[in-house]
């Protein structure tokens, strides 16, 4: 079969032949239809993700650990957890029986693998307890997940949405998706701090953070009050680290600001994940949630993998 084959950690997957998987006891062969290539897939292949060792212990291997495909009876399913070295970026893969779920009617195979990205936008509810009318700041809104999060926040009834990014053109597009105010994080530190303060209004109720690093460090400093008082809580949900894996948090940034920091997985379990996913599906079916895609065939994986910018579009590989 044809597959995207990774020969070394940190390398680029090559389009070439790879042995067909053979199902063992309790396993099922999946005919792959579409795979969304995300930052986590690249990080695992590069050896920089905490879970890399488990996926790259056997080389050569096929990257990506979930996708959309068909069962032997033709049922279209979303699948995960393929047996190494058989990842999702291949014509066929092998997964444990039950490591899949039917794709809802009305969802295209190319769109289905991207819907999980929108779940991070719903963490303003599941992790931070968002309620309609609150102000939401989305750090990193020009990326694929950030754009979806802007739409999710609007659909959930946010009173005001502030969005950040580094590209003025893409920030203008984010405005069209529903952001009320946009902030360019590429400016100097003092200017960025002033922008956060000016856009804050009565306060940021929820911050959805795909950036971390420098922009979030500056944001936290701006939330420290100028005098004693009872601060308005700001619930920050940490999702990604595209601007840096670490930042220095001064004690007063937490002690006096009212900031509460949660991981995006807080509040998620099988039940809440099902509720969240069904809501995303309903919005997608109705056209209320728009998913921007860059669709390429498996044969184009080498060029696509090397791209350094997404322009807000999720790379989806079709087979």
Q: What are phi and psi of 105, to 5 degrees?
A: -60, 145
CB 85 within 8 A of CB 55: no
* Distance of alpha carbon 45 from alpha carbon 65, whole angstroms: 11
Q: How confident is the model over 238-258, as pLDDT tens digits?
A: 999 999 999 999 888 888 888
Q: How confident is the model over 30-74, as pLDDT tens digits?
A: 999 999 998 889 989 999 888 888 888 899 999 999 999 999 999
H helix or E strand, kind and range, residue 138: strand 135-139
DSSP string, 6-73: B-STTS--EEEE-PPP---TTEEEEEEEEEEE-HHHHHHHHT-STTHHHHHSSSSB---SEEEEE-TT
CB 116 within 8 A of CB 298: no
Is 70 exceeded by the pLDDT of residue 114?
yes
Report percent pLDDT > 90 for the chain.
84
* Distance of alpha carbon 270 from alpha carbon 192, whole angstroms: 39
Q: What is the pLDDT of residue 254?
A: 86
CB 80 within 8 A of CB 57: no
Is 70 exceeded by the pLDDT of residue 229?
no
Secondary structure of 207-261 in HEC code, one letter for each residue: EEECCCHHHHHHHHHHCCCCCCCCCCCEEEEECCCCCCCCCCCCHHHHHCCCEEE
Q: What is the pLDDT of residue 181?
A: 98
- Fold (CATH) for 117-263: Quinone Oxidoreductase; Chain A, domain 1 (3.90.180)
* Distance of alpha carbon 4 from alpha carbon 62, whole angstroms: 6
pTM of the model: 0.90
Angle at 274 between CA 112 and CA 95, to 5 degrees: 60
CB 317 within 8 A of CB 297: yes
Q: How confident is the model over 139-156, as pLDDT tens digits?
A: 999 999 999 999 999 999
Q: Domain spans of the chain? A: 2-111+291-318, 117-263
DSSP string, 252-298: HHHHTT-EEEEETTTT--HHHHHHHHHHHHHHHHHTSS---EEEEEG
- Spell out the residues 6+ positions from residue 107 whose beta carbon is closer than 8 angstroms to its own: 115, 281, 284, 285
Residue 37 neighbours by CB distance under 10 Å: 27
| Rg value, the chain, Cα | 21
Domain 2-111+291-318 classification at class level: alpha beta
Q: How confident is the model over 181-218, as pLDDT tens digits?
A: 999 999 999 999 999 999 999 999 999 999 999 999 99
Q: How confident is the model over 74-93, as pLDDT tens digits?
A: 999 999 999 999 999 999 99
Going by C-alpha positions, the residue among 96, 112, 75 that lies closest to residue 293 is: 112
Is 80 exceeded by the pLDDT of residue 226?
no
């Amino acid at each position: 079969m044809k597959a995207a084959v990774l020969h070394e950690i940190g390398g680029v997957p090559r389009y070439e032949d790879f042995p067909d998987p053979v199902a063992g006891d309790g396993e099922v062969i999946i005919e792959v239809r579409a795979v969304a290539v995300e930052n986590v897939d690249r990080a695992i292949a590069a050896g920089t993700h905490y879970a890399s060792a488990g996926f790259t212990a056997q080389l050569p291997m096929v990257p990506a650990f979930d996708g959309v495909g068909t069962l032997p009876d033709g049922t279209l399913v979303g699948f995960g957890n393929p047996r190494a070295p058989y990842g999702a970026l291949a014509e066929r893969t092998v997964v444990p029986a039950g490591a899949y779920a039917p794709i809802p009617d009305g969802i295209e195979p190319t769109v289905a693998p991207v819907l999980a990205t929108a779940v991070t936008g719903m963490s303003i509810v599941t992790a931070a307890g968002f309620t309609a009318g609150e102000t939401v700041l989305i750090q990193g809104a020009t990326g694929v997940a950030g754009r979806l999060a802007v739409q999710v926040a609007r659909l959930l009834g946010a009173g005001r949405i502030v969005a950040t990014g580094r590209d003025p053109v893409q920030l203008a597009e984010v405005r069209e998706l529903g952001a009320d105010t946009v902030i360019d994080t590429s400016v100097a530190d003092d200017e960025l701090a002033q922008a956060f303060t000016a856009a804050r209004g009565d306060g940021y109720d929820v911050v959805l953070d795909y950036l971390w690093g420098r922009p979030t460090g500056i944001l936290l400093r701006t939330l420290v009050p100028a005098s004693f008082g009872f601060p308005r809580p700001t619930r920050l949900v940490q999702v990604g680290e595209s601007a840096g894996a670490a930042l220095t948090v001064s004690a007063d940034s937490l002690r006096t600001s009212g900031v509460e920091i949660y991981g995006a997985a807080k509040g998620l379990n099988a039940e809440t994940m099902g509720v969240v996913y069904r809501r995303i599906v309903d919005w997608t079916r109705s056209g209320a949630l728009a998913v921007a895609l860059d669709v390429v065939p498996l044969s184009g994986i080498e060029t696509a993998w090397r791209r350094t910018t997404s322009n807000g579009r999720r790379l989806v590989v079709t087979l």
